[in-house]
């Protein structure tokens, strides 16, 4: 068996019961070192653990696929929910296996953020820049989201397109600098939150940050 498991936003209390069971029973655990570390206490001492990097992940996922084909019980770990920002890795895993794999959803930081900031997904669009390849289509999509008067929950591109860069880009493209912004870091762990406007969003944040850009509130009608 091989299965991709979303481990949630960091605190093991947010991991699903089935996810925890799969991790404890796994003969092979595969994931980025930081992700593996969040569930280290659940991993069997006898399990083979592969630590992925951006350079070795294709090769290591192929090793995991071979172990699966040899009958090993393999669990591939994803931060949060794989469907929120992990689909490129799912595609690489399935190419290595040569067939679709089961994915167990997790709780995403986007869901935690929506809960903390009291926004609903009916009125909010989720976007992720945490991907390889051309970001321009996703940047344009973010512009359209804000022009359509919707909130945006955004996962930045680590170090290359972080909250300050996102804010600067939006202002340069004509989006009002008055949009209210919140940036949260390390949700469910050592949380920190910043609030301000797009114009004020100029500082650096960690690679565990997520951003909420609120729709502009209409001006009160004058009687």
Per-residue pLDDT reduced to its tens digit, 134-160: 999 999 999 999 999 999 999 999 888
Per-residue pLDDT reduced to its tens digit, 62-106: 999 999 999 999 999 999 999 988 888 999 999 999 999 999 999
CA distances from 103 to 18, 78, 89, 106, 186 (A): 12, 10, 12, 9, 24
Separation of alpha carbons 212 and 205, rounded Å:
14
Matching residue, tokens 């595969």: 30
23 and 33 in contact (C-beta within 8 Å)?
Answer: no
Separation of alpha carbons 104 and 125, rounded Å:
23
136 Cβ contact partners less than 8 Å away, ≥ 6 residues apart: none
pLDDT(222) > 80: no
Instruction: Look at the chain and count its residues.
Output: 223
Distance from chain centroid for Cα 22: 21
111 Cβ contact partners less than 8 Å away, ≥ 6 residues apart: 81
Separation of alpha carbons 215 and 124, rounded Å:
9
pLDDT(108) > 70: yes
State the pLDDT at residue 172: 97
Q: What is the CA radius of gyration of the chain?
A: 19
Domains and their CATH numbers in the chain: 2-104 (3.40.1010.10), 109-213 (3.30.950.10)
pTM confidence score: 0.85
Count the neighbouring beta carbons within 10 Å of the beta carbon of residue 153: 25
100 and 65 in contact (C-beta within 8 Å)?
Answer: no
Q: Which residue has the higher pLDDT, 143 or 207?
A: 143
- Give which of 156, 113, 24, 13 is closest to 77, Cα–Cα: 24
Per-residue pLDDT reduced to its tens digit, 1-45: 999 999 999 899 999 999 999 999 999 999 999 999 999 999 999
> Quick check: helix, strand or coil at residue 65?
helix
Matching residue, tokens 């569930």: 39
């Amino acid at each position: 068996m091989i299965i991709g498991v979303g481990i949630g936003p960091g605190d093991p209390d947010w991991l699903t019961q089935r996810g925890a069971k799969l991790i404890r029973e796994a003969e092979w655990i595969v994931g980025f070192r930081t992700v593996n570390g969040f569930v280290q206490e659940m991993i069997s001492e006898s399990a083979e653990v592969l630590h992925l990097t951006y350079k070795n992940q294709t090769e290591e996922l192929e090793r995991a696929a071979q172990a699966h084909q040899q009958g090993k019980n393999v669990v591939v770990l994803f931060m949060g929910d794989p469907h929120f920002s992990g689909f490129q890795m799912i595609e690489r895993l399935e190419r290595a296996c040569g067939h679709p794999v089961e994915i167990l959803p997790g709780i995403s930081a986007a869901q935690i953020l929506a809960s903390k900031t009291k926004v609903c997904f009916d009125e909010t669009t989720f976007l992720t820049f945490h991907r390889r390849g051309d970001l321009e289509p996703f940047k344009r999509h973010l512009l359209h989201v804000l022009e359509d008067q919707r909130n945006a929950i955004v996962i930045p591109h680590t170090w290359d397109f972080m909250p300050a860069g996102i804010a600067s880009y939006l202002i340069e493209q004509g989006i009002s600098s008055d949009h209210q912004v919140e940036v949260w870091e390390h949700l469910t762990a050592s949380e920190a939150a910043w609030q301000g406007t797009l114009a004020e969003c100029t500082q650096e944040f960690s690679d565990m940050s997520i951003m909420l850009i609120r729709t502009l509130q209409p001006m009160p009608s004058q009687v």
